[in-house]
Chain A
């Protein structure tokens, strides 16, 4: 009886799944549902809320700070993802060449990605300091600017500064994962196309890029997902300032729900991210993925 049970796929499968399933149901699925529910209530910290229908959503739709946060998030995600993609692809192509110390380069390049983001963000905060920024110091010494740049003091400067920090952290991830994709491309394609007289650009355009597209789609989907929901960089470097110019949806929902105590409103803001998130995923996944079957590849 016990032996039978030990080899029964369903019973054993259930038992093996139990620890993971319990934890995920309690701390992932349930909170996800609870978040949707909270979005429809006026819950405050320490007080269970009552159903108020779409009031929170109507409020955030007309709230100028939330609108600004949405704009910031879209701007931040678009610019940072595009930069990460081009710089990451360039770095991957560089690393894919015959170089000395290749594995050393590859190992060192990932450092920005593996150290705690909150801590490297502090380093960026210091690099962007209005009075002591080393970037301003160098530019002044070179005679390019006269006064120190106020990196985090004006809205557009601050937006581009946090984007720079995000790109710094994200490029290694994109580069190393794309490098893994590049290494699966057989060198015989390059040899054949070189014999046919293809220029390096043509080789890149007609050999590398089509073969790399599936992995680009997946990598950029992840990149967009994590950029859109970014929290740490903004929280550490600007706290959403100046004048809410760098508030993202995630930092705003934290401010409203945890610092401000309005759980319902904060939950509504984070749930409002979901449609945009899904759209962004659909766009980067299917937008890039489509080419695969257009060129005769099967469904993945």
Chain B
């Protein structure tokens, strides 16, 4: 994680002259940025544009002449949007918390306790990480139904860990591996129990890993769609992405203003949290594809 700071790995590109650098680097980079960010700009501008400006082909569509809060007001007071937001927060936070707790124990057991069969269990965790939700959701729906959890928040809190635990465990295993054995051996000689070693030595050293896994797990649960779409049907239990997609689209007339406002405000919380933890997020992402 720390190796991407400090050293310059760009090779000999510093020899390039400024105009050439503009052409080779900033121009394509600018094009990438424009394409990658334009949908967000469009989302934001649509959210505050009055309907008559939205539906007219004249004038400059890239700007708003008379900004309005009508779409936001509709979202807040005429739909269950605040409830969807609350459900998403509750489900994401609890699922992340429980998955992280279970993953810390599992990763420590696999990586450090090395019980017999730990290697195979580690491999099984990695394979579990590769199982895509779109293969799992049909039988999982019938399990959820059998357990009487259909249409409850608990259904989501219990099923999200199926992709969160493998991911977090895999990531934390990598972090625990980087903590020297000697520290634990010293503690063992001093009479510490395994539990004390875990809570007093390993966990404090693995805080960056815990933050990475937590942030990543939180965004994964916030963005989850297929389980939330399948296991929940009442409006007041829906999560934000599902609510916006299924309930804000009414008939043939699309209310683009409120749809975009819904999309914008549903994206802002994750973008906000992400902005504080960019480095942790990136290290979580790159860590997840490393051996």
Contacts and interface: CB of A to CB of B under 8 A. Distances in A.
Given A126-B256, A219-B289, A112 B36 contact: yes
**Chain A to chain B: the 3 pairs with minimum beta-carbon distance, closest first:** A13-B115, A190-B11, A16-B109
A34 to B, nearest CB: 4
B12 A31 contact: no
A7 B193 contact: yes
B143 interface: yes
Given A16-B106, A123-B42, A176-B286, 18 more contacts: A34-B142, A38-B138, A94-B25, A94-B28, A99-B29, A103-B278, A110-B274, A116-B240, A118-B244, A119-B267, A123-B263, A126-B254, A126-B256, A180-B282, A191-B11, A225-B130, A271-B135, A300-B291
B136 A266 contact: no
Interface of A: 3, 6-7, 9-10, 12-14, 16-17, 19-21, 23-24, 26-28, 30-32, 34-35, 38, 43, 87, 90-91, 94-99, 103, 105-112, 114-120, 122-124, 126-127, 129, 132, 134, 137, 168, 171-173, 176-177, 180, 182-187, 190-191, 194, 203, 215, 218-219, 222, 225-226, 228-232, 235-236, 250, 253-254, 257-258, 263, 266-267, 270-271, 273-274, 277, 281, 300
Contacts of B291: 218, 300
B105 A19 contact: yes
B162 A270 contact: no
B32 A94 contact: yes
Contacts, number: 297
B116 interface: yes
Given A122-B260, A271-B135, A116 B290 contact: no
B132 A226 contact: yes
Contact of B37 (A19, A111, A126): A111
Contacts of B199: none
B114 A9 contact: yes
Contacts of B212: none
A132 B54 contact: yes
Contacts of B219: 114
B206 interface: no
Interface stretch (B1-9, B67-75, B174-182): B1-9
B111 to A, nearest CB: 11
11 contacts: A3-B193, A20-B105, A95-B29, A99-B25, A99-B29, A111-B36, A116-B222, A118-B245, A123-B39, A171-B32, A263-B141
Give the interface SS of chain B, mostly helix, strand, loop or mixed.
helix
Give the interface SS of chain A, mostly helix, strand, loop or mixed.
helix
A12 B112 CA distance: 11
B57 A182 contact: no
B223 A257 contact: no
A90 to B, nearest CB: 7
B271 A114 contact: yes
Most B C-beta atoms less than 10 A away, residue of A126, A168, A229: A126
B102 A250 contact: no
Interface in B126-177: 128, 130-143, 158-159, 161-162, 165-166, 169
B219 to A, nearest CB: 6
B207 interface: no
Contact of B121 (A17, A122, A123): A17
Nearest to B256: A126
Nearest to A43: B142
B129 to A, nearest CB: 10
B4 A114 contact: no
A180 to B, nearest CB: 4
Interface string B242-284: 1011000000001010011011001100110011001001100
Contacts of B223: 114-118
Contacts of B29: 91, 94-95, 99, 105
A300 B289 CA distance: 14
A114 to B, nearest CB: 5
Given A13-B113, A105-B33, A111-B36, A20 B102 contact: yes
Nearest to B40: A111
Contacts of B139: 31-32, 34-35, 38, 267
A16 B286 CA distance: 27
B33 A109 contact: yes
